Structure 1
Amino acid sequence: MTRVVILAGGVGGAKFTLGVRAALARRGEPEATVVVNTGDDLWLSGVRLQPDIDSVLYALAGQNDTVRGWGRAGDTERVNTELQAWGAGWPWFTLGDLDLGTHLARTGWLRDGLTVTEVVERLAARWPTGVRMLPMTDAEVDTHVQLADGRRMHFQEWWTRHRAALAPVAFENPGIDRATPAPGVLEAIAAADVVLLAPSNPVVSIGPILAVPGVRDAVRAARRVLGVSGIIGGAVVRGMADVCLAAIGVDTRADAVAAHYGARSTGRLLDAWVMAEEDAALAPAVASLGIRPVVAPLWMTDVAASAAIADAALDAAARDR
């Protein structure tokens, strides 16, 4: 039996989680636990949005819009149009009608006193996801961006409205130093045979999860820890992670991101790093960090391709045990 925990966020994390689910099902292994970033969360028009939670949930449920890459398949925008007519919300941040139903349900349950963990459990119960979903924390620790010109704004405004075009100097999660991991997170990591860092944005998706007090130490103490590169051929696959990496002084290269996470042998995180065939020449640089490089095809073009990536990671973990 192989118990797997995934740390994930965003579309890349959702696609990878689908692959892990498929790989484990084919092997007859138990379902994975995915700990999802909640740093992207925000309040908008009186409702609580959790973009990464919803991306992972919709993907696992087969409800995601694979064309746009976010939201629900077949969604409409009548309510969003009406909100904009009233001058409410953000005109550059679209809320689909089906998606808004999720946000309203979530907000109502939160107002009734449920925790984020309990809300995620209720949402996930609607569909057979085949994966246990946990938020990283029940606390509100939204990501803010400190800009080079001195301004500060919510990550979603910087990311969605400005498309990361405004130069950032720091990413912050106010209150995260006082947050605690959501119930079950530390226990799942401690019981895992392997912890997988998804090919999500290292700075604003994986970074906030690891910043919740106790999580980084738990991952460091796990049996095996493998990361999967979201950089292929020196470029990000999706989004503007390169801008985020540059803000913290990390080059957009597979070996540089591996160095950012660091080797567990030096008191940091990784035992092995799954990197793209296009970056095979960087394998010696990764090995020199004390991290075992695993070269594999990394384009997540469909579930089968994502499952093959998961297989490469799981096989590497099994060899290392």
Structure 2
Amino acid sequence: MRSGERLRVTLLAGGVGGAKMAEGLAAVEDIKLSIIGNIADDEAFHGLWVSPDIDTLTYSLAGMIDRVQGWGVADEGKRALDTLSMLGQETWMTLGDRDFGLHIYRTMRRNQGDRPFIIARDVARAFGIKAAIVLPTDDIVQTQVQTDAGWLSFQQYFVREQCAPDVRGVRFEGIETARPTLEALKAILTADVIVLAPSNPLVSIAPILEIPGIGEAVKAATAHKIAVSPFIAGKVVKGPADRMMASMGMRADALGVAQRYQSFVDQLVIDNEDATLAADIAALGVDPVCYPILMKDQTDKARLASEIMAEARKTLDAGGRA
């Protein structure tokens, strides 16, 4: 990074926690932000290709998100779903009327042979988003969750089953042959700072890192690498990460996150309530940093993002890894 240039920041993000972190970083003025979003939750519904995590990023950064539920469009109608239900279709995947418009557009473009990355980029631009939303691959990768009743798609587990079944395993269908986008590799390898959002490590971050070439690029990158824990005192704010990790025999707390990321992360931001885990995290070779990490509103998001960037700048200014 040359003196006077904006920090190039690349965020790996999925789910509501990822979208909140993206909103916080987007409010930091002196950075150039790229966001590599999770596409492994994608699935076809009613003949349309739905990309839940990318849409949550898009709606959040565009100021359109439903703040109560954390996903979907605010002040949304469900008339299209009512019609589908009347016609005997399963409608457990809640898609709003304006939401359908985006899925129609995405599917139309995909059917025309356009690259998914280009489609996501064009949607972000149309929604007035300044940050770059980057897909890790243009190929189809889909998370599947193993339960006592068998394998489920992530949306079946997350939405239809309300995360109720115990999780015995996770796999990413199609990931072995997926190819990383050049845009994702560039965002990683040219970054000054790489941030892992407080997203589910197993089903939001892992399907990004495990795309062939992505994890290797993150490890090889000279950027300062900071992860943000999704746990506060052993619980997550939203989502099933704590139950998933526990049922799969992992530590379901900030130390468990550090164990997942220890091979490549320099720092882990943990909540003040988890300060007692700091010594154990440091013993893994990961520098623990304590802040209040609960993001209740935009002020919290911007504050946490600014604190993360301040930590990164201290390392960069001291001649750290970047």
TM-score, normalised with respect to structure 1 = 0.94
Q: In structure 1, which of residues 270, 281, 305 is the aligned counterpart of residue 276 of structure 2?
A: 281
C-alpha separation in 2, matches of 1:274 and 1:158: 29
Say which is worse superposed, 118-127 or 225-234, in terms of deviation.
118-127
Shift of 1:148: 2.7
Q: Which residue of 2 aligns with 1:69?
A: 70
> Is there any run of 5+ residues in structure 2 with no aligned partner, and where?
1-5
Alignment of 1:205-244 (within 5 A): 205-222=204-221, 223-244=223-244
Alignment of 1:1-321 (within 5 A): 1-23=6-28, 25=29, 28-29=30-31, 31-88=32-89, 90-149=90-149, 151-222=150-221, 223-262=223-262, 268-320=263-315, 321=320
Shift of 1:125: 1.4
C-alpha separation in 2, matches of 1:44 and 1:167: 25
The CA deviation string for residues 284-308 of structure 1, in whole angstroms up to 9 with x for no partner, is: 1111111001100101011221122
SS at match of 2:142: coil
Q: Which residue of 2 aligns with 1:265?
A: none
C-alpha separation in 2, matches of 1:313 and 1:148: 40
- Work out whether residues 33 and 133 of structure 1, in 8 Å CA contact, stay in contact via their aligned partners in 2: yes
Letter in 1 for 2:286: I
The CA deviation string for residues 156-198 of structure 1, in whole angstroms up to 9 with x for no partner, is: 0111111121122111111101101123101111100010000
CA-atom RMSD in angstroms? 1.1
SS at match of 2:137: coil
- Work out whether residues 117 and 183 of structure 1, in 8 Å CA contact, stay in contact via their aligned partners in 2: no
Say which is worse superposed, 304-313 or 78-87, in terms of deviation.
304-313
Shift of 1:247: 4.0
The CA deviation string for residues 83-111 of structure 1, in whole angstroms up to 9 with x for no partner, is: 111122x3321110000000000000000
SS at match of 1:118: helix
Say which is worse superposed, 44-53 or 124-133, in terms of deviation.
124-133
SS at match of 1:143: strand
- Work out whether residues 265 and 286 of structure 2, in 8 Å CA contact, stay in contact via their aligned partners in 1: yes
Letter in 2 for 1:105: Y
C-alpha separation in 2, matches of 1:314 and 1:288: 24
Moved over 3 A (4+): none
C-alpha separation in 2, matches of 1:244 and 1:213: 24
C-alpha separation in 1, matches of 2:224 and 2:267: 9
C-alpha separation in 1, matches of 2:257 and 2:68: 28
C-alpha separation in 2, matches of 1:106 and 1:114: 9
C-alpha separation in 2, matches of 1:307 and 1:104: 33
- Work out whether residues 204 and 244 of structure 1, in 8 Å CA contact, stay in contact via their aligned partners in 2: no
C-alpha separation in 1, matches of 2:248 and 2:167: 9
C-alpha separation in 2, matches of 1:76 and 1:137: 32
SS at match of 1:299: coil
C-alpha separation in 2, matches of 1:200 and 1:294: 17
C-alpha separation in 2, matches of 1:118 and 1:157: 28
- Work out whether residues 14 and 199 of structure 2, in 8 Å CA contact, stay in contact via their aligned partners in 1: yes
SS at match of 2:295: coil
SS at match of 2:168: strand
Say which is worse superposed, 78-87 or 163-172, in terms of deviation.
163-172
- Work out whether residues 61 and 129 of structure 2, in 8 Å CA contact, stay in contact via their aligned partners in 1: yes
C-alpha separation in 1, matches of 2:38 and 2:237: 19
Shift of 1:152: 1.3
C-alpha separation in 1, matches of 2:156 and 2:78: 20
Shift of 1:249: 2.5
C-alpha separation in 2, matches of 1:125 and 1:80: 28
C-alpha separation in 2, matches of 1:168 and 1:212: 22
Letter in 2 for 1:140: I
Shift of 1:309: 1.3
SS at match of 1:227: strand
C-alpha separation in 2, matches of 1:81 and 1:127: 27
